[in-house]
Amino acid sequence: MPIGITALGAYTPERVLTNTDLEGMFETSDEWIVSRTGIRERHLSADGEFASDMGVRAVRDLQDRYPDVLDGVDLVVCATSSPDAYFPSTAALVAGQVGLAGAGALDVSVACSGFVYALSVAQGMIMGGTARKVLVLGAEVLSKIVDWQDRTTCILFGDGAGAAIVEDVPDGYGFQSFVLGADSAGGSSLYKFAVADRIPGVPVGTGNAMLGMNGREVFKFAVRVLGDSGEQALGKAGLKGSDIDWLIPHQANVRIIESACSRFGVSLDKTVINLDRYGNTSTASVPLALREALDDGRVKDGDQLLLVAFGGGLSWGASAMRWYGGRTETKRAAPAALVAR
């Protein structure tokens, strides 16, 4: 049996930080931020709200949409760049709060590429017989690890979470290919220290304890690997750019997304973009974008999707997949934060 996503939920916190708000914090402007990134606002977690809390809320949204969706889940995989702790894993913390204590649980740490990686891990676990049904999460509280004195980075990031069920799907649906990669030679361009205070390329003792980024280098890297990995994923699946119904890219920078569209020959009209309202939510960005496109009816049963992402590592991931819309979804209004404006 092929394997794919059968259900999807999402959550973003209520607090919204606009570019106008940032103008009151340091020297910047809405025009400057929008022209360089496409971002107009981002959602920020509350003081006592962390990645596991966001993951739980995304799972609750999943259950609201599909009431019996967690039945039979035997593994939880959480992609996160901002875990509650080194251990227990954020996956285990979420599992314990949503009635899945005892299921296998592990975190995936690949920064913004993490959700695509986690989908691949879930597929592999099912194919290998280790699991039958997997809950995959992307959960981030990046606002708690950025340097709010660094106006070149803090303007980019927001908080959010997505939750997906990965299991067997009917023939003709599901994952068709995955492409995963990483190159630590670029690690000094996007990093967050943990136990060690050194990363190759970053002088010892000079690193920031918060997230550090060389925006120019990351931009060049992203433009290249989004195109390369996406083309490889299409090739492995026997597809070409003209076969894509919807491109679901990591939401980091609108100019990077425009470059990827040009590479694949996909128009912006066939690309899901919501970074203007959420910023870069790292591992949550792909599921947030996909959930929004499902809510507003853009993505439908049988649509050909291409997921592409890049992140710290430096890492990249892409997946070609045929969307399975056969699971009946409880009729409900989309969360206010996910309604396209």
Q: Looking at the domain 174-326, which fold is it?
A: Peroxisomal Thiolase; Chain A, domain 1 (3.40.47)
How many Cβ atoms sit within 10 Å of the Cβ of residue 68? 7
With beta carbons less than 8 A apart as the criterion, state whether 111 and 312 touch.
Answer: yes
Q: How far apart are CA 90 and CA 323, in angstroms?
A: 28
Active site residue ranges:
112, 250, 280
The two domains 3-168 and 174-326 share their CATH topology (first three levels equal): yes
pLDDT of residue 340: 40
Q: How far apart are CA 91 and CA 56, in angstroms?
A: 10
Residue 280 makes CB contacts below 8 A (sequence gap 6+) with 39, 112, 142, 156, 157, 158, 250, 251, 252, 253
Residue keyed to tokens 């709200």: 49
| Residue 309 φ/ψ, nearest 5 degrees | -150, 160
- How high is the mean pLDDT in each 10-residue block of the chain (341 residues)? 97 98 95 96 98 98 97 98 95 98 97 97 98 98 92 93 98 98 68 58 61 65 78 96 96 90 88 97 98 98 96 89 91 51 36
What's the CATH number of domain 3-168, 3.60.15.10, 3.40.47.10, 3.40.50.10490, 3.30.1360.120? 3.40.47.10
Q: How far apart are CA 204 and CA 50, in angstroms?
A: 29
Q: Is 228 left (phi over 0), alpha (psi -120 to 50) or beta?
A: alpha
Q: Are strands 159-168 and 315-322 parallel, antiparallel or unpaired?
A: unpaired
pLDDT of residue 265: 85
pTM: 0.93
pLDDT of residue 332: 54
pLDDT of residue 158: 98
Residue keyed to tokens 């977690």: 45
pLDDT of residue 204: 60
Residue 212 makes CB contacts below 8 A (sequence gap 6+) with 153, 190, 191, 192, 202
pLDDT of residue 341: 36
| Residue 340 φ/ψ, nearest 5 degrees | -65, 140
Q: Following CA atoms 222, 120, 283, 48 in sequence, which dihedral angle do they give, to the nearest 10 degrees? A: -160
Domain boundaries, given as residue ranges, for the chain: 3-168, 174-326
Which residues are 163's β-sheet partners? 9, 137
